[in-house]
Amino acid sequence: MPTGESNFGAAVWAILCKECQTEWRTRYGLNAALLFALTTLTTVSFAAGRLGDRIDLLSAFLWIVLLFASMASLAHVFVREVDGHTLTFLRLVASPGAIALGKLLFNLLFLLVLEAVTVPLFFILMDAPPPSWGKFIALLGLGSLALAATSTLVGAIIAQTRSRGALFAAVSLPLLLPVMAAAVSGTRNQWQMGSVAPELRLLAGFTAAVLGMSVLLYDHLWND
Amino acid sequence: MILRVLLLVWIAVSLAAGFLLAPLVPGLGPTTRVLYFHIPAAWITVVALAWSMGHSLLYLRSRRMEHDDHAAAAAELGLLFCIVATVSGSMWAKAVWHSYWNWDPRETSIFFLLLIYGAYLALRGSIENDERRARLSAVYSAIAFVTVPFLFFVVPRLYFSLHPDTIINTRGKVDMDPRIRIAFFSMLIGFTGLFFWVLNLKVRLLRLERRRAEQAAA
């Protein structure tokens, strides 16, 4: 088992590069997530029309779209390993913490790429008013981090079970409710020119709690 | 045997006291009586959750299956009491606020607990291997343990609440008519006794099943 600081960093970087390469080769996960996001977005836009003045609905829709896309794709990092029987090999060459961090960084990058496409389309299709950019970007960033952290951890759990697809969404949704509540409320507040500090604090605290717990729990996940 | 009978008598007497002796709360009228069921059920939901999560963490530390038995049994009972609390609360809300469900913070919290219990039991149901089931559900329980405070204490500050604050107010005192208070607290004790009694039965059953499986394998 590799030990020491430099090995940890190198392992995380290597895993991140490996995930990016694997994803780029087939792009299954990315395509699925983009399709999910676009389909949800266009369905809502088609059904409800331009909702420029309904910022309460707009903030909810944005985060529902991101949530759906996460549920469709963020578990793949682990499911792919289990299906391809490469998880044992991975555990031999890297510590559980390095695997966890590498995959978390990949999921975060994945979400950011997804948002780079989805968010502009959201503004165009739904005729959303221009946001307070600083607050909006902060909410998107922290919200994505919270989503990625929780989804990666839950993905690691359900990859070892039978009914993964349905189970992933069912099991991660209760944990993600505080994130959704804070993200939607914050997005609405920033459009109303209000303060988003309480929501940002909640998201930051939540992410810290989940990441802290992850550090303690990852060793238990693969102790077969 | 004696304890079981005592529990039955205790609950019966508390119920009788609640319905016959205790007065009605002025604002709530005849619906007052729901508080003898709804609040103890909600209390047991939280107790069961804490018991289940505590034993999950103990399992991760010691890897003894007894802790997993306690965690699973407490979760199943907790789900039952959670459903009782949610349904009774919803009926009470309809009677007093004329709406079955309003996403009031307390309603949101109890619904959230329902989801957590459901997800935990769904996860357990999808794993066949005993040791893996115990380990993975304990990990999930530990994550839920850190996220529950966020929904309980932090989210309500973001929203306005319909819930009556007449019972436990900010001064920390319990503000009830003494007769209601006696009936209520004795129902609370009765429910707690009921929970631990059924929990004990379930845990013993799980232990016996495991012993029988071990003997069959040997």
Q: How many CB pairs under 8 A join A and B?
A: 94
Partners of B144 on chain A (C-beta within 8 Å) are 174-175
- Chain A positions touching B157 (Cβ under 8 A) are 198
Q: What is the pLDDT of residues A106-152, one digit of tens each?
A: 999 999 999 999 999 999 888 888 888 899 999 999 999 999 999 99
Residue B35 lies in a domain: no
Would you give the distance in Å from CA B95 to the centre of its chain? 23
pLDDT recorded at residue B156:
61
Residue B184 domain flag: yes
**Has residue B117 been placed in a domain?**
yes
Which whole number is the average pLDDT over A151-166?
86
Query: How many other CB atoms are there within 10 angstroms of residue A187's CB atom?
Result: 27
Picking from A189-198, B131-140, B154-163, which range would have the lowest pLDDT averaged per residue?
B154-163
Q: Which domain holds residue B71?
A: 40-161+174-217
Rounded CA-CA distance A193/A189 in Å is: 6
Whole-model pTM: value is 0.86
- Interval A34-55: pLDDT, tens: 888 899 889 988 888 777 788 8
Q: What is the mean pLDDT of chain A?
A: 87
Whether B21 has a pLDDT exceeding 70, the answer reads yes
B127 to A158: CB separation less than 8 angstroms, yes or no: no
Q: Determine the structural domain holding residue A174 and report its residue range.
A: 5-221
Chain A hits for B130, CB-CB cut-off 8 Å, are none
- In the chain, the amino acid numbered B59 is Y
Confidence band, pLDDT 50/70/90 cuts, at residue B153: low
Q: How many domains does chain A have?
A: 1
CB neighbourhood size of B196 (10 A): 17
Q: What is the pLDDT of residue B155?
A: 62
pLDDT of residue B193: 94
Q: Do B104 and B91 touch, CB atoms closer than 8 A? A: no
What is the tally of structural domains in chain B? 1
Region A12-19 average pLDDT: 91
Q: Do B138 and A182 touch (CB under 8 A)?
A: no
Residue B93 tokens, joined: 């809300």
- What integer pLDDT is reported at residue B71 of this predicted model? 95
| Separation CA A183–CA A119 (nearest Å) | 14
Averaged pLDDT, B148-160: 67
Span A79-111, pLDDT tens digits: 888 888 888 888 888 888 888 889 999 999 999
ipTM, two decimals, is 0.85
Average confidence (pLDDT) over B126-142:
91
Comparing CB atoms, the residue among A174, A181, A210 nearest residue B119 is A174
Contacts of A160 (CB under 8 A, 6+ apart): A82, A221, B127, B132, B136
Q: How confident is the model at residue B157 (pLDDT cuts 50, 70, 90)?
A: low
Percentage of chain B surpassing pLDDT 70? 89
pLDDT at B168: 37
